Amino acid sequence: MKKKKIFISLNDYEIPNAPLNYGVHLAKKLERPAYMYGVEKVPMQPEPVAITGSGIPTPVITDINQVKKVAEKKLKELNFEASKIYDDVTYRVDIGFPESSLIEKAEETNPYMVVLEGNNKLTTIHEWFGTYETRLAENIEAPVLVLPSNYYWKPVNRIMYVMDMEDHKINNMKFLTTIAQKLKANIAVILLSSERNEQETNKYNSIVNIMRNILGYENVDFHQFFTQDKADTIDRLIDNVNADWLAFEHESCSFMERMLNTYNTKRLILQSEVPVLVF
């Protein structure tokens, strides 16, 4: 069966290129094909006022084929750089809207994982409506690895998975343990609870029992923490366990949930100093 690809989303085609560097190294470690994907916006230029006569410039579509040709040339140069790291790399560039094009292409190619670089900073409007990165994490079916800006490859020794009690735990753990084996990394599973009570403790013990004794995850570290500020606790735990990746399951939130939810996934994705894997 043909292996699913590591899908690398590119914001630009400059050399050196951090997401390209990270994604290709990761693909090599996981022994999967790497696929570089770029999207050029529909080229527009204002029509001269003298022609329109309205005093308001009217956008005019310029030569799409020329724009694509230039982008493909740059991607070809990037592909040459990528081939110095790994020999199984292909690429494609499309013209369109970056967000929707990336979601559609990811759905079409059904990748193993999508790698993209985070650029947005946290603002109030982003907390309410989400950002480019968080919307992609919500709408792409495959796991999405969001890299901090300008983050180059380094060995992954420890993955910290923040497991919610309602997660698709088995699928996520299967995915993580497969990756960890290839990367020679270990996994620290963190379960966070708001209230310290017998019910939450019993849930934790039940999950650990299933994971270790039934599913065979004996070499995974499990920890339970009680906190009212989950995002801040996660920040501190990343440093405490010396995590190279943060992983968690992100579900779509309504407008009010985005405003009121203290488990601020947007903040975790945008402000994390390590790559964030979002299921």
Interval 245-257 mean pLDDT: 65
Give pLDDT, residue 214: 76
Token couple for 204:
């934790």
Q: Which fold has domain 6-41+67-117?
A: Rossmann fold (3.40.50)
- Are 47 and 57 contacting, i.e. CB atoms less than 8 angstroms apart? yes
Give pLDDT, residue 19: 94
Q: What is the pTM of this model?
A: 0.83
- Give the integer Cα–Cα distance in Å for 158 and 140: 25
Across the chain, mean pLDDT equals: 81
Give 113 or 58, the one with higher predicted confidence. Answer: 113
Q: Which fold has domain 148-278?
A: Rossmann fold (3.40.50)
Give pLDDT, residue 44: 60
Answer whether residue 260 shows pLDDT above 80.
no
Q: How confident is the model at residue 256 (pLDDT cuts 50, 70, 90)?
A: very low
Nearest to 134 by CA among 179, 103, 174: 103
Q: Residue type for 37, please? A: Y
Interval 50-64 mean pLDDT: 54
Specify burial of residue 88 (Cβ count, 10 A radius: 0-12, 13-18, 19+).
middle
* DSSP character at residue 196: -
- Residue at token pair 């907390």: 127
Which residue ranges does the chain devote to CATH 3.40.50.620? 6-41+67-117, 148-278
Most confident of 4-13, 97-106, 135-144, 195-204: 4-13
Give 187 or 130, the one with higher predicted confidence. Answer: 187
**pLDDT tens-digit readout, 125-168:** 444 445 666 677 777 888 999 999 899 999 999 999 988 766 66
Answer whether residue 264 shows pLDDT above 70.
no
Answer whether residue 215 shows pLDDT above 70.
yes
